[in-house]
Amino acid sequence: MVMPYIDTASTVDASRAFPLGLSVPSTGSPVMDDPRGAFANVAVYAPAVTTLDIAYQAPGGAWQLKTLPNVTNGVHHGIVEGLPVGSRYGLRPSPDHEALPLSMPAVDFDAAGDQPLLLDPYGRAVDQRENFITNVRMISDFDWGVDSSPRIPWRNTIIYEAHVRGQTMLHPDVPEHLQGTYAGLAHPAVIEHLIALGVTSVQLLPVHFHVDEPHLQSLGLTNYWGYNTAAFFAPHPGYATEAAQAAGAQAVQDEFKGMVKLLHAAGLEVILDVVYNHTAEGGTDGRALSFRGLGEMQYYRNDGHGRYVDTTGCGNSLDFGEPRVVQLVLDSLRYWVNEFHIDGFRFDLAVTLARNAANEFDPRHPFLVAIAADPVLSTSKLIAEPWDIGYGGWQTGRFPAGWVDWNDHFRDAVRTFWLADRAAIDAGGHGGSVARLADALSGSASLFEASGRSRLASVNLITAHDGFTLADLVSYDRKHNEANGEQNRDGHGDNRSYNHGFEGRTEDEDILARRAQTSRNLMASLMVSQGVPMITAGDELGRTQQGNNNAYCQDNPITWIDWTSTPESHAMLRTTKRIIRMRKEFLAGQPHDYPTREKQSYFHWFDAHGERMSGEIWQDPAHRVVQLLLGSDDGHMDGLVVVNGSAQDVKVTLPLLSNEDGTGSRLFELRLTTSELHDRRQGVRVSSGERDVVQANSISIYRT
């Protein structure tokens, strides 16, 4: 078949400044507008560039170079021939005298010898060969079948924060060629574990394409966590199987989508941890990968004198006072929802995303308003890490309706009560009162009230990727980050941890027993609290990082989950499953809008004698016993949580409550206790108004 001649000189004006990136031309020509054809509309926002070249290589062809001929409001655009699906391409500013109009033949381009190419901010895939990074033109074809989002209500959500690679690198039931990959994460053995555990939503550490910082490369380390994003539309190819990587960008994309499809089929949501607050280009002396070479004064926040204003600690901050930056992030988010069926996002250092032109946090920032008004994004799960390192950077509780916040108040209160306070008591001192813990258990309602949100706006966490694991919280008093190559200077020093008498690994059975009980206390506190619980992957198995609380650069067994079954890991997994199951049973006995209806939902507090808590007892550190009765007027079940944070066993009088017909007292059934007697006492029934023993440093949970 003879293809008709297309005069590119006569069609360049048909190019569009929107949409940004590569798209199918819209010229009316069936040849040029073929989605799989060789023509592409190219549009790049590069306000600092006079002329912008595109270098490209069709599959099996040679590199060529042309100049985008049109500029509209800082967007360089043109229709380029010879760019079929699968082509590699990149960008570069060119001196005016080197501009190559599309009406002229393309010239050869030495991809290895000429200046490095810049990534397209809207590039859908990244190809990295021998440190030469380019984009790849993609197509969206994928057989989703009947895939749909599980759309789990916030009330029923239990988040599991995981790393694609670390989740399966050591999993014995995942074939070796799938370990550490997107496909491995969706392997039946992994899905079976997640379902049996009882979590509902898998929150993945960054999967956008990222690069390693130069100082890590010099140490032979990598940015394992991935918080160094270089491309907001491209999945990280290093997490795909070797077969997919060898097959190319389309196979990588398909493997990622296949992972989402299989997780959805199992009823699990997929949430992405996204890093839009900064990019991998670092400070002003860093390597230009994309934005810096296209318009750094527009993309990055600066003081007007060419100096970056850094609210992230990573050298640069994207400027969300700039409309094009807001547009970029909104377009990226929609792309991941529409093309990859992602269910929600956790926004790293989210305060930076809501800083206005004056660099102040604004809960009505245009970015937040735009998300609230967007029919796609407003129905996604939106999770804020509500702080950054800039002025006024701690904003927990201030994000608007539609968002939930990581609750650092919860984390600190629970750690303090069960760890720091216990360390002080064991040393002969005093701990704090139960007031802060009680506030955490009840969902920090006052913290979120001013923003018009309920207790369900609180994402409750005790651990996360950043910091000690649950097992390390009970095993180390100090951080041990020597493997990071920074002489243990990195990482947070305020861990509120307690080693229970010995630093690190021990065979002392008494210490191990006390550590195990504290671990159960922490997990139980997380699961009985109002709000949305988040578990860090591996905590259910007692995973350790050997005291490293900043393992961002450790892509090795320090961070990978060890799936070896031991008596200790089996016991922790069993306890975690039981607590999650108990949480679900309680919520199933409440109306669908519990606990957001404040008048119908109740939280009654009692002291060790079954009497209402007084203000004096609330603040008295000598009283570390509290009882919480929770339920709703039209619920089918009440729960009673009894906390004993003292060093002695306590005989607690359960609250005196009449049964439904008023003819007698209620019976409380012990569902779980974190004490060493937990298996022997489960199922015991105690009448309200009667006494029951709650062991030192433990939680007992009843239902009625």
**Which one of the listed residues 255, 281, 348, 472 is annotated catalytic?**
348
DSSP 697: T
Q: Which residue has the tokens 């100096």?
A: 307
**Which one of the listed residues 385, 388, 638, 692 is annotated catalytic?**
385
Q: Helices 366-373 & 323-340, crossing angle to 10 degrees?
A: 30
- Beta carbons of 181 and 556 less than 8 angstroms apart: no
Contacts of 410 by beta carbon, 8 Å cutoff, 6+ apart = 440, 444, 458, 460, 461, 462, 529, 531
C-alpha closest to that of 433 among 413, 450, 459, 404: 413
Instruction: Quote the strand ranges of 584-624, DSSP E.
Output: 601-606
Is 385 assigned a catalytic role? yes
- Beta carbons of 57 and 111 less than 8 angstroms apart: yes
Give the span between the Cα atoms of 257 and 261, in whole angstroms.
6
DSSP 43: E
Give the span between the Cα atoms of 109 and 111, in whole angstroms.
6
DSSP notation for 465-519: SSS--HHHHTT-SS---GGGSSTT-SS-S------TTSSS----HHHHHHHHHHH
- Beta carbons of 537 and 167 less than 8 angstroms apart: yes
DSSP notation for 220-243: T---SS---EEEEEEE-GGGS-HH
Q: Helices 509-528 & 408-415, crossing angle to 10 degrees?
A: 150
Both tokens of 242, joined, read 């070797």
Q: Helices 567-588 & 188-197, crossing angle to 10 degrees?
A: 60
C-alpha closest to that of 690 among 658, 652, 640: 652
- Point out the residues that are catalytic: 348, 385
